[in-house]
Amino acid sequence: MRILSRIALLSLTTAAHAATVVYDFNVSWITANPDGLAERPVIGINNQWPPPRIDVQVGDRLIVNLHNSLGDEDTSLHFHGLFMNGTNHMDGPVMVTQCPIPPGASFTYNFTVDQPGTYWYHSHNKGQYPDGFRGPLVIHDPKAPFEYDEELVLTVSDWYHDRMSLLQPRFMSKYNPTGAEPVPKSALMNDTQNLTMPMVPDRTYLFRIANIGAFAGQYIWVEDHTITVVEMDGVYVHPTETNMVYVAAAQRCSFLLTAKKETSRNFPIIASMDTTLFDTIPPGLNTNVTSYLLYNPTAPLPLPTPLDTLTPLDDTLLLPQDNLTTLPSPDQTITLNVTMNNLASGANYAFFNDITYVPPRVPTLYTVLSSPNSSSSQGDLTTNPSIYGTYTHPFILSHNSIVQLVLNNLDSGRHPFHLHGHQFQILHRSAADEGTWSSSSSTPDPNNSNHTAAPMRRDTLVVEPNGNAVIRFQADNPGVWLFHCHIEWHMISGLAVTFIEAPSILQQTINLPADHLAACRDRKDPIPFEGNAAGRGGNSKDLSQWLVLDGQPTPPKPIPAGFTGGGIAALTMSCFTGILGVAVVAWYGFSEPVGESNTAAAAGVKIKSPAAAGESGSESGVYTDVDSAGKSASVVRVKRGTEAVESEALSFGSEEEAVNGVGMVSKKGDGVVVDVDAITRA
């Protein structure tokens, strides 16, 4: 039992002036066993794991000095949910806003936080963060619109026992053609289990919940307590009471809980993984993780009461505290259809509009910064989406335009979609199995009066299986921003697009620090930091080179729609072989069974049956006939019911030699019967 060692109890403080908060992160492999089931390598910070919580206040400057001591892997750091307004190059996704940080290198993230709420940080490099490189980030707000006495910060997550470098190749393999995601081995709360949190009677606690897992959404509830939701993904909401919340991977939720006055009992707080996301549920998997509100240290810690149904709060019905009304009609509408399918490699990939994301050869932000603009004699290419590559799936957004995304989930699973650099309004979300968004439904959901007044906002939204959603945001934050599914397996398999927002303004406002360029240049495999997605045009005076995409990274080819030449040949031979096989079986079935008389006729010899020789009737054997002179023998092998007949004439010096020569078992008169395995020849 761990008490408070991994719980934050913070008293309220008020800062008179903004501060500069500095964290030094030395990132390396260490060993941990958080669920008590298996030790494994994890990515620790400063030789400790779990990673530390980052705490700042609104208006502070946050500096994180990261040194990569992993030895065998690149890395990066993303601050999930932060707008990074004016500092897009600090956002962190590899090959989007920076090069990966190689082993032995250092990199500084430096930006101002101007939004309150509950967030988290994690590696954004090749599916790395489920190896443990993730932790909570809290931006405290002295002017928060609700009152409480203490904060409790809780992370929930799924947990694997193998490194991602082992799991990913198995997942993206022809031997996993359905794209079944690896099922977690357990669930964690604050990177442990059986956590206890001492309660002071009648005190009000602010619980900050962040799902920092790779895959599973979590249903969260506290037995015999009502909770009051006050924040979702950094958006303050009008206080809303409920008994349960659903927090998908990457989402956050804050709620108030007032401790009971009576202290005779302790109460479980439960996080239960959403098993509808799993293709299979392995025997013995505990899908829940339980912690406890500890009112009485001497009282037992009760097991959770099983629930027949899980009915969480509908987050789309919440009302933002600032009552921001629905944004105007969109200037740009982008429809994204979600599908999963196999490519020629045999592996299963994820697609928006039949395009699976592949990182470019040059980080997309660096392509923006190095591309010819309107002041160049070469002409303006910053707003030409082709220079950013086919498989980054780029969309150019005009500054301050209203953008509407229509999400049609044609997949049979839930997807939590996350937008970097923005919060979006949720205008509509269908139930499961309602199909695509109808083009006739051009207004917000008429069944939800909240939407017409002040739609809920957040940065990560769950879209239901075979359902749809409509979201809207203002492109008021110049930058290169990913929009992607935050199930890490789906990010790995390509479920992402790139929004390139006001690129000409980016060129005027961002100067890359030296360590950003060094991360590209000073490595065993240098990465170009100028040019288009294929690395062309950066050092060329020939404008046309910017439009040449030969050499851009590409996914495997699609599976051919029809049969290939080899497939036709294989099918033809298979059909011929099948027909021939049927013919042989038919011929065999209609053939006459072979008996002794047929065998004798075929051999042209006199045969004594086993019965005539004094033997019981056997199904097979070797029959011989020795002449009266005893100097020769005819040997016939017979297997009844077949046409397997062999005959041979042997000569011997005497009858005794003839009998011995054929390995006779018994003799009656002039006939002998010899066992098939006992034949010897002179």
- Written as one string, the DSSP assignment of 181-220 is PPPPSEEEETTBSSEEEE--TT-EEEEEEEE--SS--EEE
pLDDT of residue 542: 80
DSSP summary character for residue 677: G
> Is residue 524 in a domain?
yes
Q: What is the side-by-side order of every strand in the sheet holding 424-429?
A: 348-352, 332-342, 402-409, 468-474, 424-429, 457-458
Work out the angle at residue 192's Cα, subtended by the Cα atoms of residues 189 and 195, and round it to the nearest 5 degrees.
Answer: 75
Closest listed residue to residue 437, CA positions, set 446, 425, 448, 428:
428
Would you state the structure tokens that stand for residue 474, as one six-digit string?
């203002």
- 6 exposure class (CB count in 10 Å sphere: 0-12, 13-18, 19+): middle
Cα(432)–Cα(451) distance, integer angstroms: 19
| Residues spanned by the domain of 132 | 15-142
Could you tell me if 33 and 106 lie in one domain?
Answer: yes
84-to-79, 112, 233, 242, 480 alpha-carbon distances in Å: 9, 8, 15, 33, 11
> Is residue 43 in a domain?
yes
The domain boundary, picked from 489, 511, 544, lies at 544
| Phi, psi (rounded to 5 degrees) for 167 | -75, -40
Could you tell me if 126 and 236 lie in one domain?
Answer: no
Could you tell me if 359 and 370 lie in one domain?
Answer: yes
Look-up: residue for tokens 């500084």? Answer: 108
The domain boundary, picked from 142, 165, 190, lies at 142
Instruction: Establish whether the linkage from the previous residue to 50 is cis, with ω within 30° of 0.
Output: yes
> Is residue 567 in a domain?
no
| Phi, psi (rounded to 5 degrees) for 451 | -65, -35
Could you tell me if 206 and 313 lie in one domain?
Answer: yes
Domains identified in the chain, total number: 3
Could you tell me if 43 and 166 lie in one domain?
Answer: no
> Is residue 205 in a domain?
yes
pLDDT of residue 570: 61
Could you tell me if 129 and 167 lie in one domain?
Answer: no
Work out the angle at residue 173's Cα, subtended by the Cα atoms of residues 121 and 565, and round it to the nearest 5 degrees.
Answer: 140
pLDDT of residue 448: 54
Could you tell me if 155 and 136 lie in one domain?
Answer: no
The domain boundary, picked from 512, 544, 576, lies at 544
Could you tell me if 88 and 167 lie in one domain?
Answer: no
- DSSP per residue, 274-305: -GGG-S---TT---EEEEEEES-TTS--PPPP
| Phi, psi (rounded to 5 degrees) for 645 | -125, 130
Cα(3)–Cα(1) distance, integer angstroms: 6
> Is residue 214 in a domain?
yes
In the predicted model, residues of the chain with pLDDT beneath 50 are 1-16, 440, 446, 449, 596-633, 636-652, 655, 658-659, 661-682
Q: Which helix or strand (DSSP H or E) is residue 490 part of?
A: helix 488-492
What is the reported pTM? Answer: 0.82
Q: Are 185 and 38 in contact (CB under 8 A)?
A: yes
Could you tell me if 129 and 219 lie in one domain?
Answer: no
